[in-house]
Chain A
């Protein structure tokens, strides 16, 4: 039981490190490029921006959850 817990914690730590790298890359690439465009949209087309904001946050939620699920399968699948 204890061995299993250690394995789970180790797998989670690896997931966290890989996830952190992916997120940092995401910050610099996607958000940096989107920033100015979203700002212009917010100033000029408020309703489009409002709808897009909801779609973006929901899309990111689904995308990141898929990344996490993939990482869990990849790492825990190998360790077990």
Chain B
């Protein structure tokens, strides 16, 4: 099928299949899957600027479907998502400006590649450590009979002491997040987490759910199921902003995004339903290979000489 906007000739079945796989990831983990979608579009012959811009448009559609599903399941904190969108947009702009600076300095490919590998591997190692420790703690509690009567989906974290310390920071204004079960948290903490997520989004591309979702769980103390749903809601706003910005610069082939999205709709349904059968630490443990896949793709592009 010929796509006149980008001038690319790509099989719609290939695009729908890629969308399907990324849809499953998005529905289950609340991530955009850009570390797979971008290289997959590039593999199909699309230029990197179109791959990044088109992926953002696809992320908007995919997140709308998954967020609606999560909302129906009560997994979206609208207040938190709206606040975070502000911080994300600010961070994304700073990240994009940093890329422009590196472009002018002539070392953007090397710096972005190294930063992304370090970030992806660090996230994977941390989440592996935390989720395994939490699962071990839960096993011990279950053996001692402390979990008797608790629902199997109850969310525990081995990083809970850090979360509690952050929630004790009383910098005005304080915000209540009743949907997430948080009585009061500093607005600045939420904006900081969102800003960092946006910074990575602007710097490394995509929705940066791989850093925002863990940050929401470990730093803000949002239950994993709510973090997944709220992250998706927040991505709708921030990715729409990114899509508009890229489309104005001529980097979006919306027809490709529409075709990819037809597969993502089905994939997202499967992913969202699957979250109902797993407890928080198990979702986090299953998340571990994703950043490693991203790191492997970046290492491959560095070795093979592809432009990142």
Expressed in whole angstroms, the minimum distance between the Cβ of B37 and any Cβ of chain A is 14
Question: What's the least CB distance linking B256 to chain A, in Å?
Answer: 10
Cβ A64 vs Cβ B57 within 8 A: no
B interface residues, tally (CB under 8 Å): 32
Chain A residue at minimal CB-CB distance from B245: A50
Decide if B248 touches A16 in the complex (CB within 8 Å).
Answer: no
Does B247 contact A53, Cβ atoms closer than 8 Å? yes
* Assembly CA distance A52 to B247 (angstroms): 10
A56 with B258: CB separation less than 8 A: yes
**A7-37, CB under 8 A of B: which get 1 and which 0?**
0000000001001000100110001001110
How big is the A interface, by class?
20 to 34
Provide the residues of chain B in CB contact with A46, threshold 8 Å. 247-248, 250
Bound Cα distance from A35 to B244, whole angstroms? 19
Judge if B303 is at the interface, Cβ distance under 8 Å. Answer: no
Option from A19, A23, A50 in Cβ contact (under 8 Å) with B244: A50
What residues on B are CB-neighbors of A35 within 8 Å?
A: 3-4, 255
Asked if B184 is at the interface of the complex by the 8 Å CB criterion, the answer is: no
- A61 close to B62 (CB less than 8 A): yes
Q: Which of B233-267 contact A (CB under 8 A)?
A: 240, 243-244, 247-248, 250, 252, 254-255, 257-259, 261-262, 265-266
CB of B190 within 8 A of chain A?
Answer: no
A1 at interface by CB-CB < 8 Å: no
Closest partner residue, chain B, to A67 (CB atom)? B265
Contact: A57 with B3, CB < 8 Å? Answer: no
- With the chains together, A47 CA to B248 CA distance in Å? 6
A51 at the interface (CB under 8 A from B): yes
How many interface contacts (CB-CB < 8 Å) are there between A and B? Answer: 94
B25 at the binding interface (Cβ < 8 Å): no
A72 closest partner in B (C-beta): B269
> With A26-B262, A64-B262 given, is the CB distance from A57 to B1 under 8 Å?
no
| B12 contacts across to A, CB distance below 8 A | 27
B42 proximal to A (CB < 8 A): no
Cα–Cα distance between A57 and B3 once the two chains are bound (Å): 16
Asked whether A16 and B65 contact (CB < 8 A) given A23-B16, A54-B243, A57-B258, the answer is no
Minimum C-beta distance from A39 to chain B (A): 4
A74 proximal to B (CB < 8 A): no
B6 to chain A, nearest CB (A): 10
| Chain A 53-75 per-residue mask, 1 if CB under 8 angstroms from chain B, else 0 | 11011101110110010000000
Residues of B contacting A62 in the complex (Cβ-Cβ under 8 angstroms)? 64, 68
The chain B residues found within 8 Å of chain A, CB to CB, are: 1, 3-5, 12, 16, 57-58, 60-62, 64-65, 68-69, 240, 243-244, 247-248, 250, 252, 254-255, 257-259, 261-262, 265-266, 269
Given contacts A49-B247, A65-B64, 15 further A-B contacts (CB under 8 A): A27-B1, A27-B262, A31-B258, A36-B4, A38-B255, A46-B250, A47-B248, A53-B247, A53-B252, A56-B254, A58-B61, A58-B64, A60-B261, A61-B61, A68-B269
Name the 10 nearest CB pairs between A and B, nearest first. Answer: A50-B247, A61-B64, A57-B61, A39-B4, A53-B254, A61-B61, A64-B265, A23-B262, A50-B244, A61-B65
